[in-house]
Amino acid sequence: MPFSKKIHFEISERKVLLRLFDIFTVLIALYFVGQIFKFDYFNISKANFYWTIVLSLYITIFGTVFEMYNLQIASNQFQVIKSILLTSTTTVLFFLLTPIFTPVLPSNRLQIIYFFLAVTLSLFAWRIFYQAFLASHRFLKGVIMVCDRNQLEELVQSLGKVDPHYKIIGFINTDSRDIDEGKILDIENIKIPDLQSFVKEKGVSEIVIASQKTDGITVDLYSNLLALLEKGFMIREYTQVYETITQRIPVQYVNKDFYRYFPFSRSNHNRLYLILVRLIEIVISVFGIFIGFYLLPFIYVGNFFANRGPLFYTQERVGKNGRPFTIYKFRTMIRNAETNEAVFATQNDARITAFGKFLRKSRIDEFPQFFNILKGDMAVIGPRPERPFFVEKIASQMPFYQTRHVIKPGLTGWAQVNYSYGDSIKDSLIKLQYDLYYIKHRSVFLDINITIKTISTILFYRGQ
């Protein structure tokens, strides 16, 4: 039985596509500008081919920093305009100011304007095309979910928030006690005998098995799935799909057989990786302390007038292997902010002063933590260091929470750059999923990704 599948790009494929065509369209635009306007600042030839490499690297790096490869932003017309302007301006500026690797500054300043307009307008043109065609609904990936009816809404929302092109168009109810055959969220309830015909007619791309009940996969359903599998149809398990799309570990769907789904990254025990990371952390912490000393007088004055309390704030946090340590921060809250017991800091928390809010948004309040990194209590990248009170409270309600302590807590991390500041148990669960994903996939490339996302967080003033 032939299957007519719709065209669909996976998340990683779309990001690669965006990067490649950003570079390609800019180079093509510069070539034609050179031919039409006698623009000779950027000539593409064998003799200076490295100019194109440098320009490509700048576009990729600054495009990442300014979130041009965030798929939600790439699909939003207004947000991507800001990202393009920031990326093109920074790229042109750096390209002009690195004449050792790039052309010498032109004597005719009009050439600089040509260069900037060529880069900016070509990116605009390509991204408009992307939004009109490649990010449109004609590239939806149709999916059938095999799950209990009461699971469906949460499953749809979890995946749809991350990838709106991943569309669940039908489901098979595996709860034998539930005989309701109506639609949920306009998602069709498929009867098992109709499964293969539905797949063919709707151009379904894959089936995802999300049911945690073994008795829900009946002999009839199993036979139909096996028939589809034998014809080359893709059938995947939900935890794998969830992890790939959301870049989180779905601990709420992992049973007690945890380590089948959660093998630790080899980097957690790779001595060369750990030694290299530690050397980089020492360099970064010394550099951070140096900058902190320069900022100290300004912070002291701001704290004296706005916070009216000790400049430094210390607190006990839980470190690697559950060992407590004292963390250092610049004060951002009023004195005696907690009179009874520890409470989560919330968005627009009244205890945070106006100057403290600035310190948090800019992440300046965390500069003293470079001392913790230098001492070895913390890493630059890792799970957020949590207070013992919250660790005990969350661990009593959440499986696997203590697992995040197998590595050092970090100044920044996968959870911090992908999710806003958590102020509830539910938020802690989501952040735990990100933390476990980092522990599972920890690598040099993921560390670089987190570093770039952290820079974006600081530049866009998103600290909390």
What does the pLDDT profile of the chain (464 residues) look like in tens digits? 455 555 566 667 788 999 999 999 999 999 898 888 877 788 777 777 888 999 999 999 999 999 899 887 888 888 899 999 999 999 999 999 888 888 888 878 888 899 999 999 999 999 999 888 877 655 678 899 999 888 888 888 888 777 777 889 999 988 867 666 667 778 999 999 999 999 999 889 899 998 877 777 889 999 999 999 998 899 998 888 998 888 898 887 776 666 666 777 888 889 999 999 999 999 999 999 999 999 999 999 999 888 878 899 899 999 999 999 999 999 888 776 665 666 666 666 677 888 888 998 889 999 999 999 999 999 999 999 999 988 998 888 887 888 899 999 999 999 999 887 666 788 888 899 999 999 999 999 999 999 999 998 888 766 65
Residue limits of CATH 3.40.50.1380 in the chain: 140-246
> CA-CA distance, 336 to 338, in Å (whole number)?
5
Task: Tally Cβ neighbours within 10 Å of residue 138.
Answer: 11
Pick the closest to residue 100 from 56, 46, 54 (CA basis). Answer: 54
Triad 23, 65, 442: Cα angle to 5°: 105
For the whole model, what pTM was predicted? Answer: 0.84
Domain at 140-246, CATH class: alpha beta
8 A C-beta contact, residue 123 and residue 131: no
| Residue 36 exposed, middle or buried by CB count within 10 Å (0-12, 13-18, 19+) | exposed
Amino acid 440 reads K
